[in-house]
Amino acid sequence: MILAGQNNLIDTLSFRSSQPLASRIGAKSHLEGVDLNGMENYLNHHLAITGVDQMLFDPTALTAINQGSGGLFRKANHLAPGALIAAANSKSQTVSSEYVPLAATEIF
């Protein structure tokens, strides 16, 4: 059996009431977030899928998205489009780091 969950699953398994289950887990693995290069490749890939052939995020926005998401794609999937929308509302051709916090406050 494979037991998968959010980051707080590890914390939940440490509770006294979860000890019988936790004691039967034979192996554990934790997925780490990607680095800045991995995030850039991920965003480039998604832009290419939508037909965009240029990078719309400047280096500061890439860093802000990677840091804000902790390198996790699921969180980046919320931050990046939100930052794109904020940049579009400002009639900006590229997304800079100033738009990422706006996306974070609207979504999280």
Long-range contacts, 86-89 (Cβ 8 Å, 24+)? 87/56
In CATH, what number does 33-107 get? 1.10.8.60
- The residues with which 57 forms a beta bridge, in sequence order, are 95
pLDDT of 81 = 94
Which pLDDT tens digits describe the chain residue by residue (108 residues)? 777 777 778 888 889 998 998 888 888 777 788 999 999 999 999 999 999 999 999 999 999 999 999 999 999 999 999 999 999 999 999 999 999 998 887 654
CATH 1.10.8.60 boundaries in the chain: 33-107
Cβ(107)–Cβ(78) below 8 Å: yes
Q: CB 23: neighbour CB atoms within 10 A? A: 8
Q: CB 103: neighbour CB atoms within 10 A? A: 24
pLDDT of 108 = 46
Cβ(35)–Cβ(73) below 8 Å: no
Q: What is the DSSP letter of 93?
A: S
The span from the CA of 107 to the CA of 104, in Å, is 5
